[in-house]
Amino acid sequence: MKYLLVLLLAGITSSAQIQKEQLNLMPWPQSVVVNDGNFALNKNFKVNITGNPNSRIFGGVTRFLRRLDGRTGIFFEQGFITKLNEVPTAELQINCTKSGKIGLYEDESYHLDIKQNQITINATSDLGALHGLETLLQMLQNNSNSFYFPISQISDFPRFTWRGLMIDVARHFQPIDVIKRNIDGLAAMKMNVFHWHLVDDQGWRIEMKKHAKLIEVASDGMYYTQEEIKNIVKYADERGILVVPEIDVPGHGSAILTAYPEIGSKVITLTGGTSEKNIQGTAIATYGIERNAGIFSPTLDPSNPKTYQLLSEIFDEVCPLFPGAYFHIGGDENEGKDWDANPKIQEFMKKNKLANNHELQTYFTMQLVPMLKKHGKQLMGWEEILTKNMSKDAIIHSWRGPNEGMAAGQSLVDAVKKGYKTVLSNGYYIDLMYPVASHYLNDPMPKGVDLTAEEKARILGGEATMWTELATPTTIDSRLWPRTAAIAERLWSAQDITDVASMRKRLDVVSYRLEELGLTHIRNKAVILRNISNNQNIKSLNEFANVCEPLKGYTRNKGGTEYQMYSPFTLFADACGPDAKESLAFDDAVSQYLASKTPENKEKVTAFFNKWIAVNKGLIELSANAPLVQPILPLSKKLNDASQELLLVLDNKSTLKADDLKNLIEQCNTKDHADVELSVYASLKKLI
């Protein structure tokens, strides 16, 4: 501890020169130069704005001041900034040439210059200036009793113009405050697109005045009012973020068809002579809001003129809520089963010379293009919309990969080669609980593929996707953050910024700072653990959670039926996250020990084993009064047993046969308990 303290002191003394490597900037700027000396922060610190920015900069600066005083406890004299050139002598001068326009291709660059007595942010637009303020907040340093900014010059601009996050609010509805705090998180990470997945099998989430049935019967009462949507769009605009709405059609149609079954594709053939419903012997199928996860057959009928009439009216009502230039129409995972089985649809295809369901879906999608164009919107869709007759205006959202039997990001290459603009989401599925490094190293620019400059330019960027089959308002932030920050860096920073160790170090600080925006990714873990513990001490649970990760991919919810949308998500797996906190530290200890079997190195490894043995004991004690601890015990016992034996192994006292020892460790490679897996299994294995 003393050693650590000395190190810390060495690193933070104000007179010490801050090294570039010590800065916890994320996304890492294009150019950073650090010099000797500091700008000292005190309560007289003020901000002044000049030029021709959009008025969003005033709110941005006011929020900047609140965050800075929250971190430092300094009682700044300046409360609100409401107009240009308010304090000409202010220490922080912000100049913007023009009003930033929310959307793609806007100039988001900025120059941040920190001198001993003056800080300036120069940006073409206020959007760049907002980014500059985020960087300045990240530049904040401290010694033992004061805060300062190191003298430095930063020039910065994004690598990609589309740096997005999608949140699915259909599977689990996410209230306004969840959306708002995550928009703040996006802005802090210099992201600029919020893709709002508003409709899916599990619910319709947009208030409709004309087609009120959609919310009356297909939302469970959980939807955004049009005013709320407008407020979110405004909130995002004030933070430099474009909102792209999605209404997923023609598949994922259960909610829409619950309200309007008459435009569904399913045909029901009536057997026998009941005259009740339809004398022709067919009837309209009924649909219900879907409660499970998965891919379902309810699909809109592309041969029915009523389908287009309804969609056109829906777009007429929804499009004006979103001033942005893009509208996502989904288009994914349409199985076409109901199309195949519907004679009317088959006849329609024949008549219109549509050779297969892909062509039928293209026919359908093409009908939407003018409906959106009417409102000044360009159509965007998941990669399945990419078929031969698709409009070149459409933006292709690349998402499939090996899990769907495709080469990762293949559709992205196909799209740009065929002349489409595209956004990458394959590799950014943060709901699947993969480690941050996997997302971080996933570049939108494909490797080993020859693309022309023109083709490359069609790769707009990328988008993290937060599907919410398993995420509630309580847990969603911990699924989003901090990994989305690493994706933000991938999309903003230079292509060669790929040092995972550096990213991890910076991410730890960035994650902590995101708390000030109200994000709950850290704090809610204790809430869930307290519930599991039945209000007992959560220490053991917390320590066990540091070596457990939720099952990855789609394995936690096999077949989509283990968890319904109304199942409890207050379980141990919900408190755990990817990148379990102690895995790397343990792996380092093991590697060091294997490289050099000194007593010190051995002690580092055995400390972990002793901790896990104590954790198991602690969990058993807890479980006497906490039923929710029971499902965790078999797993903790396995780690306990392996730990106990490995302690003997390290002392050369183990009497187990090699195979039995191997089996014992192999027990830790299980996915059978509490929907989590032990993150230290691979490191344990190295010891035998």
Query: Given the rule CB under 8 A, which residues bind a copy of itself?
Result: 1, 5, 8-9, 12, 59, 65-66, 69-76, 79-80, 142-147, 175-177, 220-221, 225, 227-228, 231, 291, 473-474, 508-509, 512, 515-516, 518, 520, 522-524, 526-527, 530-531, 534-535, 563-568, 570-571, 621, 623-628, 630
Which candidate, 439, 501, 517, places its Cα nearest to that of 183?
517
Amino acid in the structure at residue 305: P
Which candidate, 674, 621, 670, 604, places its Cα nearest to that of 641?
670
Which residues, including other chains, have CB under 8 Å from residue 266's CB and lie 6 or more apart? 285, 287, 297, 298, 299, 338, 341, 342
Which residues, including other chains, have CB under 8 Å from residue 293's CB and lie 6 or more apart? 171, 469, 470, 557, 560, 561, 563, 565
Token reading at 292: 């499970």
Per the CB < 8 A criterion, the answer to whether 338 and 266 are in contact is yes
Q: How far is CA 587 from the centre of its chain?
A: 27
Active site residues: 333
Rounded distance between C-alpha atoms, residue 553 and residue 624, angstroms: 33
Rounded distance between C-alpha atoms, residue 123 and residue 101, angstroms: 13
What is the DSSP secondary structure assignment for residue 29, as one 8-state letter?
Answer: P
The DSSP H or E segment spanning 649 is helix 633-650
User: Least Å distance between CB 624 and a copy of itself?
Assistant: 5
Q: How many CB atoms lie within 10 A of CB 118?
A: 12
DSSP string of 459-486, one letter each residue: EEEEEEEE--TT--TTTHHHHHTTHHHH
User: Least Å distance between CB 187 and a copy of itself?
Assistant: 17
Give the nearer residue to a copy of itself in terms of CB position, either 394 or 626: 626
Give the nearer residue to a copy of itself in terms of CB position, either 107 or 516: 516
The H-assigned helical ranges of 453-597 are: 453-457, 476-480, 483-492, 500-514, 523-533, 539-545, 572-575, 583-595
Give the nearer residue to a copy of itself in terms of CB position, either 189 or 632: 632
User: Least Å distance between CB 401 and a copy of itself?
Assistant: 31
Q: How many CB atoms lie within 10 A of CB 399?
A: 25
3-state secondary structure 307-364: HHHHHHHHHHHHHHHCCCCEEEEECCCCCCHHHHCCHHHHHHHHHCCCCCHHHHHHHH
Rounded distance between C-alpha atoms, residue 201 and residue 289, angstroms: 6
Q: First CA to last CA across the chain, in angstroms?
A: 31
Q: How many CB atoms lie within 10 A of CB 36?
A: 10
Can you list the positions of beta strands (E) in 216-322? 242-249, 267-269, 282-284
Give the nearer residue to a copy of itself in terms of CB position, either 79 or 294: 79
Which single residue is written with the structure tokens 């922080």? 92
The DSSP H or E segment spanning 153 is strand 147-156
Per the CB < 8 A criterion, the answer to whether 249 and 200 are in contact is no
Give the 3-state secondary structure percentages of the chain, helix then strand then coil, rounded to 5: 45, 15, 40
Long-range contacts of residues 536-540, Cβ cutoff 8 Å, at least 24 apart:
536/622, 536/625, 536/626, 537/622, 539/618, 540/614, 540/615, 540/617, 540/618, 540/619, 540/621, 540/622
Q: With H, G, I as helix, E, B as strand and everything else as coil, classify residue 532.
A: helix
What is the DSSP secondary structure assignment for residue 113, as one 8-state letter?
Answer: E
Rounded distance between C-alpha atoms, residue 477 and residue 469, angstroms: 14
